[in-house]
Each structure stands twice: as C-alpha cells, then as structure tokens.
C-alpha cells in the first residue's frame, strides 16, 4: 500500500488499485492461516486474481502481456490444485488438515505423493518457485515497478516507467 500511494495518487482508477491491493493482501493472510484445503484454494484465488489485474493495470503492451501470462499460468495451476484437493478428499474423506494427516497415512502412497506434489506446485506458483517459475521474469518486467515491487535499477525499462 505504501508503494502504491504515490504511484496511484490522482489516477482515475486510484480506488481500484487500493481495493485490488487490499484483496490480494487479504488472500495472502487467509492463505497463511488456512486450516482446510478448500479454504487454501479460495485464499489462493483471492490472492491471485487481484494480482492478475494489477499486473496489467498500466494497459500498455508489456503490461497486458504480463497479465495474460500470469493469468494463464495461474489458471492452469489453480485447476491442477483444485483437482488435487478433490483427489485428497477422495482419499481421506475430508479436506481438514487434521483429518488429512490422520487418514492419508493409510492411503496408497503413490496417490498421496501425486496429491502433495500437485498441491505444492500450485502453492509454489505464487512464490515463483519450481515448476512454475518461468512466469516471474516476464511478469516482473511487464508490470510497473510498484506492482512488481522491485528495485528501480533492476532493468533499463523499469527506469522509464
């Protein structure tokens, strides 16, 4: 919010910037405090969807391309994550972390491994981790400095924005 205060001040859509930032922050807080896989997926979506809009907020060619790449990777990994929540529910009969810990211990090991890897892939996307890390440079370069939250000396294009 502090970074966006000067950047968005006087813009026609200033309130939209602050609203999107607050929604993304709320999603991140809920993501950290989730105790159920369904809450985790909902918080992941709440943290991601406003970020997709913010990535293309400048409406220039680079920002729109960044937002599209970010959205497509997020949509793909979000669907993968939701399908693995469904698999976890099928294996354990619950989406609560407490019950998952108890019931997945007796579930088939390959199914549990696939579920855990796919869930981690969806979560690591937000952090820019492997296997979905290749979106980070493109989106960071295409977004404005405030949205990307990177230093002004990180690239030549960043200094001109």
pLDDT the model gives residue 159: 38
Number of domains in the chain: 1
- Look up the domain containing 150 and give its range: 2-160
Segment holding 72, helix H or strand E: helix 61-92
Q: Which one is predicted more confidently, 59 or 61?
A: 61
Q: Which of 20-29, 59-68, 70-79, 106-115 has the lowest mean pLDDT?
A: 59-68
Token pair for 74 = 């997020």
Q: Full-prediction pTM beyond 0.85?
A: no
- The whole-number average pLDDT for the span 82-86 is 92
**CA of 114: how far to CAs of 75, 107, 118, in Å?**
19, 12, 6
Taken in order 154, 138, 136, 130, the sign of the CA dihedral is negative
Strand partners, 96: 36
pLDDT score of 154 = 38
Q: What average pLDDT does the chain have?
A: 80
Greater model confidence, 136 or 78: 78
Report the pLDDT value the prediction gives residue 141, as an integer from 0 to 100.
76
Q: How far is CA 50 from CA 8, 154, 160, in A?
A: 16, 24, 25
């Amino acid at each position: 919010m502090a970074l966006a205060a000067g950047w968005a001040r006087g813009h026609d859509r200033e309130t939209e910037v602050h609203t999107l930032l607050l929604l993304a922050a709320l999603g991140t807080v809920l993501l950290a405090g989730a105790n159920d896989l369904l809450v985790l997926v909902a918080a992941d979506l709440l943290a991601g969807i406003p970020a997709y809009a913010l990535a293309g907020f400048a409406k220039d060619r680079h920002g729109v391309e960044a937002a599209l790449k970010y959205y497509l990777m997020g949509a793909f990994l979000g669907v993968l994550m939701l399908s693995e929540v469904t698999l976890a529910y099928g294996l354990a009969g619950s989406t609560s972390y407490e019950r998952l810990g108890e019931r997945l211990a007796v579930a088939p090991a390959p199914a549990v491994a696939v579920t855990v890897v796919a869930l981690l892939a969806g979560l690591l996307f937000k952090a820019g981790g492997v296997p979905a890390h290749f979106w980070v440079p493109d989106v960071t370069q295409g977004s404005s400095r405030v949205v990307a939250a990177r230093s002004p000396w990180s690239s030549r294009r960043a200094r001109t924005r």
